[in-house]
Amino acid sequence: MEAARRGHSRRPAAGILRFVINVVAAVIERSGRILIGQRKNLGHHPLKWEFPGGKVEPGETPEAATIRELQEELGIRARVDREIMRYQFQYPGRPPILLIFYRVVDFDGEPENRDFEQIRWESPERLSSYDFLEGDGQFIASLKPGAPP
């Protein structure tokens, strides 16, 4: 109480502690198609489509996070080719995220659904017909018909 009277508070003023969460997304290609997953019907953004991936853990590189997430979600050992795109996005009422998209064209194992409602191989030109997470919209809009990501 005394701290509040002196103008000091334990809670930071709105907007002062703004942090960004790094999130990776894998654009896994095979035979001209890209692997996408539909979120389960629970939690944030139920049944929305997305690219496999997830949050980068403290002390982890984005590339290592991509490899870890693909092992957890699909049971594959991926080799990251290159970064395709990155941008910041913020869902209402949530901290901002930095989305980093990585191209994956080589992996060991056959992808198996360990974490999604369903997974599907789809052509890049058809991705815009799916109900994707809003955060993936800028990436999907950047895809040019017939060109690899």
Kindly report, residue by residue over 70-81, the tens digit of the pLDDT: 999 999 999 999
53: nearest Cα among 66, 35, 41: 66
Residue 17, pLDDT > 60, answer no
- Please state the domain extents for the chain: 18-142
CATH superfamily, domain at 18-142: Nucleoside Triphosphate Pyrophosphohydrolase (3.90.79.10)
pTM score of the predicted model: 0.85
Give percent of the chain above pLDDT 70.
84
CB atoms within 10 A of CB 74: 24
137: nearest Cα among 54, 16, 34, 51: 51
